[in-house]
Structure 1
């Protein structure tokens, strides 16, 4: 019985230390602190939309919420895609985390686009892709997604003729 108590005592400082690291890593507004620490809060009416990145087909709008997709480091990018929008098969060199904010987003895997074979992700849907995985996307209706990753963000089309930067 004594060994059990000793083990708990040995484990407790490790658990306490890990918990304090998690609490310190939370944003100030979740810890009840004031807004004086470095960070960023963006309300929906403060999102500044601009034409999407040149790597995407024309028609998308984009808003950088956090960081800089063109530099090293974390970033959060919102993309507003019009109805019928299509991103041909492509890859990224870094993981891509996407959340569907509004609308319907279709994600397909592989080097050949297939609208009907793409998985339908409604608002609230989430996906995480590993680096180098070929995929494609469609927006059936007006759709907003949030893309989180680490920069610099790049996109390489499977077929170079699909790249709008080559036109």
Structure 2
């Protein structure tokens, strides 16, 4: 019984510290109608829109970004320098693993799906319908194409 009491008191103390720490930071709430869409980062193929919901993808620290892509959109095989944590908000994401875009090996992930990839994991995505995904990770955000010629920032 003493151990349970000590554990409960410790847990209450920890929760109090956590509440105090978060009370010092500004909170963030974003309703769907308040999302401000703009052009996606130039490292992505043209046609996507992005909205930063929290944090700053160009700086160190946690951020949340929504990406809206049109039907037919695709991102060639690539990696990221940090964990990539993705929730499919609407539509369907077709996720394939590896250094080549073998669509027959991709898995369709409908709205409500979630995936997390460790740093440097080669993968590709494509979309058969307009889709919105939310990416949550630590910045600075980056994307490195397996084949540098796939990078839309490269001039021909």
Q: What TM-score results when the alignment is normalised by the length of structure 2?
A: 0.89
Aligned residues: 152
SS of the residue aligned with 2:133?
A: strand
Tell me the residue number matched to 1:151: 139
Structural RMSD (CA): 2.0
Q: CA 1:101 to 1:12, structure 2 compared with 1: closer, same or farther past 3 Å?
A: same
* Residue correspondence of structure 1 range 53-68 to structure 2 within 5 A: 53-68=41-56
Consecutive aligned runs of 4 or more in structure 1 exceeding 6 Å deviation: none
Distance, in Å, in 2 between the alignment partners of 1:126 and 1:24 is 31
Unaligned runs of 5+ in 1: 1-7, 27-34
Distance, in Å, in 1 between the alignment partners of 2:116 and 2:12 is 26
Tell me the residue number matched to 1:166: 154
Match of 1:141 among 112, 129, 134: 129
1:89 equivalent in alignment to 2:82: no
Q: What TM-score results when the alignment is normalised by the length of structure 1?
A: 0.84
Q: CA 1:22 to 1:36, structure 2 compared with 1: closer, same or farther past 3 Å?
A: closer
Question: Higher mean Cα deviation, 36-45 or 152-161?
Answer: 36-45
Distance, in Å, in 2 between the alignment partners of 1:46 and 1:9 is 50
Say which one has the larger Rg.
1
Match of 1:9 among 2, 7, 13: 2
Measure how far apart 1:10 and its partner are.
2.5
Match of 2:14 among 17, 21, 36: 21
